[in-house]
A and B are shown apart, each in its own frame.
Chain A
Amino acid sequence: MQNRIDNLFKQKNKNILSIFLTAGYPKHDDTLAIIKQLDACKVDLIEIGIPYSDPLADGPIIQQSSQVALENGVTLKNIFEQLKNLRSVTQMPVLLMGYINTVLQFGIETFYQKCNEVGIDGLILPDLPLEEYNSVHKVYAQKYNIHVVFLISPNTSAQRIKVIDEQSKGFIYLVSSNSTTGSGKELPTTLVQKVEDIKNLHLKNPLLMGFGIKGKPEFDAACKLVNGAIIGSSFITLVGHSTNFEKDISQFISTIKN
């Protein structure tokens, strides 16, 4: 079975730009409009956050956007409703990112089935343990051709990374947490060394770096080390303030790409 994430990395394995947006933010029906504009700007990957009341692995900006989206009345059910026309808008790989309780209440198999129906290619569920993925989720992920992407940090042990690489499909999300990410052009040398060590494990999956990638300097620094990076909070801030998605998103993306 073909998956758009695999196809992307077959064509391109450097400078992958992934953008994170929160479904139903800033307005309930903005989701598809933002995706459409990201498609026009030719980013490589899109991650759609499912708003959650208690997003443990997210920073304050994404947390706040989740809160607003929930106040806008967004539910997982109407996210799938909004994404019904996803594939008439873009052929880019699209992942959903959310927390396990939301999936559990929706129904695990129904969730994977719905993802497949609307054309979702992958999932990032930060609080889904690898062991639970194997025992419960994997069968549905395979049945509905959804790649489940796992997170690692620079402090994850080599042994654990190898296990995760073995189980992962699509790519691995390398979290450079707040304490280790620099704000300047250069990444801290300790982080660089740890990432080099991870690369020396010769993983089968590409690596994308996320958390703390705010703009072009951080994006470029991350791309020197790994296959690409994910921009979340600063994109959320942009759309939160935007009165003209077309103009603002184009400008934001071109600043990063050029």
Chain B
Amino acid sequence: MTATKNQFNVNEFGYYGQFGGAYIPEILFNNVEELKNNYLTIMNSQSFKTEFDDLLKNYVGRPTPLYLAKNLSKQFNTTIYLKREDLNHTGAHKINNAIGQILLANRLGKKRIIAETGAGQHGVATATVCALMGLECIVYMGQADIERQAPNVARMKMLGAKVVSVTSGTKTLKDATNEAIRDWINHAEDTHYIIGSVVGPHPYPDMVARFQSVISAEIKTQLLSCVGKQNPDYVIACVGGGSNAAGAFYHFLNDLEVQLIGVEASGKGIHSGHTAATLTVGTPGIIHGSKTYLMQTNDGQITEPYSISAGLDYPGVGPVHAYLFETKRANYLSVTDDEAMHAVINLTQKEGIIPALESAHALAALSQINFKPSDTVVLNLSGRGDKDLTTYINYLDTHTHAK
């Protein structure tokens, strides 16, 4: 299959090519159908747009800067802009989607909000908007992630959310998502499930991508005023479920001259058996209600992903990425734990920005690409590194290459 124009959006049945769909227990049919029938009407209504835009501007702090990283550009002998999603309120792009979905939940009359979280960024974003709207908030988080992302757990609790520790399976994002879906099955009538990435049954992947598409809309406008053209040569973003990448790619999908690069976490290495690089090692199947690539055994059992980064530690990937991968519209690279840690230190010391571990995977991929000096590269810096400080300090304590 090769890429042609205007084929990258979801079709009326909820599919991107063969990927996507809504493989859900019948009990959730009403909820998903309600969302499917209403999300576009609500999102396109004037009252929604006004409220969404106002909150993004005055509460989140958008537009986020498009920063010309001169030292990084010099290092890679090209022109690199960082899209500063790390400067959003709550510290990552996740808030864009959380704001959108809470406004949607309000309009659907839902009183109870549930969410899953890996690194805790989506959990914090959801807890934040629930505090803002005065809605009950329950966040499912794997026990292993609760341990490695303690500051975010504390923030969620302070914001009034109930954080439920998930002890099934690997005790990470996959299992937190399972538990959130089970909760939804048991509270189908009054509950809205704010999924944090471009995963899950249709219409979630499309809805979340639309809420995150503000990233690429801003890049176009900002780039025009910086360099006199809307389109860069490259857009680079990390991919776990893939929401920041989906948002950063969104308005460039049909501009085929823009090279789209997604970066997955290869953990301890692609062939180490400890990886989360779904598009490299996975095969098509169904996970969390969606047909996409996933890491699984020949028997169809979902296998345990691994990455040092809690936000990329997921055995599936959004169906839009499966499709962009299959059609070769986007290229997907992978980066190990160590390479990501080096990139953290590099950006911190070169530009004075401490990135999130997730975003560091995108940064580490810079050295895998042969840029021309004349290229314009936009890298989506999806989040800030405050939540990862313990991991960073431990790493620096045990490694000598800090300088």
Chain A residues within 8 Å of B, Cβ to Cβ: 52-54, 56-57, 59-60, 63, 67, 70, 75-77, 99-106, 126-130, 132, 150-153, 155-157, 160, 164, 175, 177-179
- A154 CB, min distance to chain B CBs, angstroms: 10
Question: Could you list 5 examples of A-B contacts with CB < 8 Å?
Answer: A52-B301, A57-B25, A104-B286, A127-B286, A129-B22
The 4 closest A-B pairs by CB, nearest first: A105-B300, A102-B300, A53-B301, A101-B286
How many B residues touch the partner, as a band?
20 to 34
Which residues from A are CB-within-8-Å of B30?
155-157, 160
| B71 interface hit (Cβ, 8 Å) | no
Q: Which of A100, A127, A151, A175 has the most CB of B within 10 A?
A: A127
- A181 CB, min distance to chain B CBs, angstroms: 10
Whether the pair A127, B25 counts as a contact (CB closer than 8 A) is yes
Interchain Cβ contacts within 8 Å, total number? 98
Whether the pair A151, B25 counts as a contact (CB closer than 8 A) is yes
Q: Which of B21, B187, B296, B299 has the most CB of A within 10 A?
A: B299
9-residue interface stretch from B119-127, B143-151, B178-186, B212-220 = B178-186
Whether the pair A151, B299 counts as a contact (CB closer than 8 A) is no
Which residues from A are CB-within-8-Å of B168?
60, 63, 67
How many angstroms from the CA of A2 to the CA of B16 in the assembled complex? 40
Whether the pair B188, A155 counts as a contact (CB closer than 8 A) is yes
Q: B21-61, CB under 8 A of A: which get 1 and which 0?
A: 11111110110000000000000000000000000000000
- B179 CB, min distance to chain A CBs, angstroms: 10
Whether the pair A177, B185 counts as a contact (CB closer than 8 A) is yes
- B371 CB, min distance to chain A CBs, angstroms: 40
- B36 CB, min distance to chain A CBs, angstroms: 12
- A249 CB, min distance to chain B CBs, angstroms: 28
How many angstroms from the CA of A150 to the CA of B26 in the assembled complex? 8
Partner of A101, one of B169, B185, B287: B287
How many angstroms from the CA of A230 to the CA of B301 in the assembled complex? 26
Whether the pair A153, B178 counts as a contact (CB closer than 8 A) is no
Whether the pair A156, B185 counts as a contact (CB closer than 8 A) is no
Whether the pair A177, B27 counts as a contact (CB closer than 8 A) is yes
Whether the pair A105, B169 counts as a contact (CB closer than 8 A) is no
Q: Given A151-B27, A153-B26, A56–B182 Cβ distance below 8 Å?
A: yes
Which residues from B are CB-within-8-Å of A126?
25-26
Partner of A104, one of B288, B289, B300: B300
How many angstroms from the CA of A178 to the CA of B27 in the assembled complex? 12
- A180 CB, min distance to chain B CBs, angstroms: 9
How many angstroms from the CA of A60 to the CA of B182 in the assembled complex? 10
Which residues from B are CB-within-8-Å of A101?
285-287, 296, 300, 302
Whether the pair A129, B23 counts as a contact (CB closer than 8 A) is yes
Which residues from A are CB-within-8-Å of B178?
54, 56
B188's closest neighbor in chain A, by CB?
A155
How many angstroms from the CA of A52 to the CA of B27 in the assembled complex? 19
Whether the pair A104, B285 counts as a contact (CB closer than 8 A) is yes
Whether the pair B26, A164 counts as a contact (CB closer than 8 A) is yes
| B94 interface hit (Cβ, 8 Å) | no
Whether the pair B23, A132 counts as a contact (CB closer than 8 A) is yes
Whether the pair B287, A153 counts as a contact (CB closer than 8 A) is no
Q: A56-B181, A132-B23, A177-B188 are in contact. List 8 more A-B contacts (CB 8 A).
A: A53-B301, A54-B178, A57-B185, A70-B301, A153-B26, A153-B188, A156-B27, A160-B29
| B189 interface hit (Cβ, 8 Å) | yes
Which residues from B are CB-within-8-Å of A179?
186-187
Which residues from A are CB-within-8-Å of B181?
56
| B6 interface hit (Cβ, 8 Å) | no
- B180 CB, min distance to chain A CBs, angstroms: 10
Whether the pair B21, A105 counts as a contact (CB closer than 8 A) is no
Q: Which of B180-215 contact A (CB under 8 A)?
A: 181-182, 185-189
- B263 CB, min distance to chain A CBs, angstroms: 26
| B361 interface hit (Cβ, 8 Å) | no
Which residues from A are CB-within-8-Å of B26?
126, 130, 150-153, 156, 164, 175
Whether the pair B299, A77 counts as a contact (CB closer than 8 A) is yes
